[in-house]
Chains A and B, each alone.
Chain A
């Protein structure tokens, strides 16, 4: 039971590993960006795991219902905005990728470096 309570953190660690491996091992820029979104999602999972409280519900206070336990609203607020910011920055990265493709004709990092060395 004690270990099950830490399962979220284990999944967080594994997702971080997968994301980081994807960023480092793949030279394709779009694949690296997908790895980055996995990495990001792992951090979101960590924060949202923190807000859970035993017997709690979503933090919406209903009139006339007493003795409710609410989940922690603060991590939710942080992640809510972080998701939107994350997609905007990912879109920016994708825009840069598109420009790289137009300039170099490829989105493989090693080929781009080769081209840079040649010139």
Chain B
């Protein structure tokens, strides 16, 4: 009962924040509100029993997404100057869409209905067979890394390609450092050097964030966590350092060649596990072939590919952030 009350409250908050985002014409406000939106969404996911997803949404939606939007805002504009004409067509279109969907929801099973079709399909099989086939407590990790390993490989490559896209659009433009004097360069960089308190506290938190990221990475088999969350957390730590100390210092901490190498190395690790399992007589990404004991092989495979996913995600986030922050000080 109490979860329903919480859920209703949070969902209503979601709608209110979304409408507030729509109504403001200050893009900075809109971005901050979308961070709040993601945080409420994460709390909502947690209430709906999706701990892994809540962790991901909190890190990526409320953390990294906000930073990326802000760094894009710094390069573009602060105000939304949409003209006041032509608001009828969008209003009609979206109302029609909403009306159709609300009409359709009356056919849908209610929230938490145990007889809903989703709960009768493959999910019981996953929940039943995970202990005997893979033997990791977190079923989400088992499904993500082993049962649906192909899917995850595809997702990793989508992230990889998106990173290549951002790099080719924004990357590799040398800041004209020679034409600007050294002191001027430091002054123009985007750091918080003159704000002592955020700088000290921010730097103090970075190691703990990275440590927590590593914990999430290697504890992902037993609790909520895994490569996606851990990669984002570690990237968030590095991005925090870069925000506090300025983009150039951030690029000294994790150079661009290193972060882009991580991206490729992670995807390569993932694929290599598949190839090795083929060479040992199994199918592609069939971890049982990795060791004499199939369950041990599964454990090993999940650990390695999660590490690969973590490397790729962390590398992608850091590389994208570097690309944006470097664009700003041209």
Contacts and interface: CB of A to CB of B under 8 A. Distances in A.
Contacts of B211: none
B114 A53 contact: yes
Does more than half of chain B's interface fall in helix, strand or loop, or is it mixed? helix
Interface in B105-155: 105-106, 108, 110-114, 116, 118-119, 122-123, 126-127, 130-131, 137-140, 142-144, 148, 151-152, 155
A35 B69 CA distance: 13
Interface residues of A, number: 85
A9 B131 contact: no
Interface in A1-36: 2, 4-31, 33-35
Given A4-B8, A34-B21, A37-B34, A17 B95 contact: yes
B14 interface: yes
Contacts of A20: 90, 93-94, 97
A61 B137 contact: yes
Contacts of B37: 38, 41
Given A45-B44, A77-B144, A30 B139 contact: no
A93 to B, nearest CB: 9
Given A37-B34, A52-B112, A24 B75 contact: no
A80 B56 contact: yes
Given A16-B97, A53-B112, A26 B56 contact: no
Contacts of B21: 18, 22, 34-35, 38
Contacts of A60: 51, 137-140, 222-224
B158 A28 contact: no
Contacts of A74: 118, 122-123, 126, 143
A19 B30 CA distance: 13
A64 B48 CA distance: 24
Nearest to A70: B127
A106 B81 CA distance: 10
A23 B159 CA distance: 24
Nearest to B91: A21
B4 interface: yes
B245 interface: no
Interface string B1-32: 00010011001101100110110000100110
A71 to B, nearest CB: 4
A50 B94 CA distance: 23
Contacts of A94: 68-69, 72, 324
Given A26-B82, A81-B152, A84-B228, A98 B313 contact: no
Given A9-B105, A44-B57, A98-B75, A77 B143 contact: yes
A80 B75 contact: no
22 contacts: A6-B110, A6-B111, A10-B105, A18-B22, A19-B18, A20-B90, A20-B93, A28-B81, A30-B76, A30-B80, A34-B27, A45-B44, A48-B44, A52-B112, A59-B139, A71-B48, A73-B127, A74-B126, A75-B50, A81-B151, A88-B162, A92-B162
Given A20-B90, A108-B81, 6 more contacts: A21-B94, A50-B116, A54-B112, A58-B50, A77-B143, A97-B72
Top 5 closest pairs, chain A to chain B, by CB: A5-B110, A24-B90, A88-B162, A9-B105, A71-B49
